[in-house]
Structure 1
Amino acid sequence: MSLKRAYLLILVVLILDQWLKIYIKTNFLLDEEVFVFDWFRIHFIENEGMAWGVVLPGDYGKLALTIFRIIAVGGIAWWLNDSVQKKATNYLIVAVALILAGAVGNIIDSVFYGVIFDDSTHQLATLFSDKPYGSWFHGKVVDMFYFPIWRGYLPEWLPIWGGNYFTFFNAIFNLADAAISVGVGILIVFNKRIFKK
């Protein structure tokens, strides 16, 4: 796969990701949910940018996370260029392109959303608001896909979680997260083809 095609894939994922996030943010109230099916819902949440809503402590935690991500994206971009130059398999190039697209998609939220949107709590957010909710590098990542495929109480005989109420799959994520997951999945599933000697 050529570098041009890899960057076209990245661009398509980024455009779809940002279009979805902006649509959800400007048309849904925070925590609003729409049932597509019982096992698939659109549920609008925001998080500070780490998986499962984990927050780094302190005033500079979010800034440190965003700067780290930007540096990591530089490394992933180098990996993509290097893979294309070395004529790596399409599996590797597509996987790295998807990971790069997902990482950039979430960085856009972290860097810009705090200064281009107002608060989503109790109101629809406004794009290019006069009263932004945050500052540069302190935006919240928009998530919306929710797949609670199974919900119920786990059997008592299970260690640790037995008898507890459990939801599978409980994470709420966005298209950028999905792109990263698919890219990592390709690296795992096609490992032998990608890294053959």
Structure 2
Amino acid sequence: MAATTRTARGRAASNKSRSGTPLLWLAFAALVVVLDQFFKIVIVRSFDYGESRPVTGFFNLVLVYNKGAAFSFLADAGGWQRWFFTGLGLAVGAFIVWLLFRHAGQRLFSLAVSLVLGGAIGNVIDRIVYGHVVDFLDFHLRGYHWPAFNVADCAITVGAVLLIVDEFRRVRRH
């Protein structure tokens, strides 16, 4: 029995080292945070609030603030939402770190939750430092503007899509 346990542990360790470690995925999440914060700092230093600069016929750079969550949900709630969304982001971040340590060998899953983690932490930093999230990517078509967003929001969205793809692949295998 002891030999079987050692062999199983050896295989698990071998799979983990081939497929990635939690530290690799945490480093990837940190890269997302750095990129997100870099672009936000550039925009905050280069734009006045509400200023918009056209880049293409369907895309502008703009400086706007979001005190709420996605699509400005609860933006006018009176201030408590800042700390609620900060706490929620930190709780989700802690849960994702736990998931990464449990499932680091699952590449697509780990990539997906690393993107979500990096995006969540990027927006938490904004809430702590500025009291709101800095948004600057503004897509529009025929007079309709999608709500402005940022690199962190992109990472969260792509991560969520990859989680769905990962789940579909897992279901199809079984």
**When the two structures are superposed, what TM-score results if normalisation uses the length of structure 1?**
0.71
* Whole-angstrom CA distance in 2 between matches of 1:182 and 1:173: 13
Matches within 5 A, 1:55-134: 55=74, 57-84=77-104, 87-88=105-106, 90-113=107-130
Give how far 1:170 is off: 1.1
Give how far 1:37 is off: 0.4
- The one-letter code matched in structure 2 to 1:146 is D
Match of 2:65 in 1: 46
Match of 1:12 in 2: 31
Q: Give the alignment partner of residue 146 of structure 1, picking from 133, 138, 144.
A: 138
Give how far 1:59 is off: 4.4
- Secondary structure, aligned partner of 1:171: coil
Q: How many residues align?
A: 153
Match of 2:13 in 1: none
Whether the aligned pair in 2 keeps the contact of 1:49 and 1:106 (CA below 8 Å) is no
- The one-letter code matched in structure 2 to 1:18 is Q
Whether the aligned pair in 2 keeps the contact of 1:49 and 1:110 (CA below 8 Å) is no
- The one-letter code matched in structure 1 to 2:53 is V
- Structure 1: give runs of 5+ residues left out of the alignment: 114-138, 153-166
Identity %: 32
Give how far 1:108 is off: 0.3
Give a deviation string over 1:124-180, Cα, whole Å, max 9, x none. xxxxxxxxxxxxxxx1110001111x225xxxxxxxxxxxxxx2x512100000000
- Secondary structure, aligned partner of 2:54: strand
- The change in CA–CA distance for 1:178 and 1:54 in structure 2 (over 3 A counts) is same
**1:23 partnered with 2:42:** yes
Q: Over aligned residue pairs, what C-alpha RMSD do you find?
A: 1.8
- The one-letter code matched in structure 2 to 1:99 is V
- The change in CA–CA distance for 1:59 and 1:109 in structure 2 (over 3 A counts) is closer
**When the two structures are superposed, what TM-score results if normalisation uses the length of structure 2?**
0.80
Give how far 1:2 is off: 2.1
Runs of 4+ in structure 1 over 4 Å off: 194-197
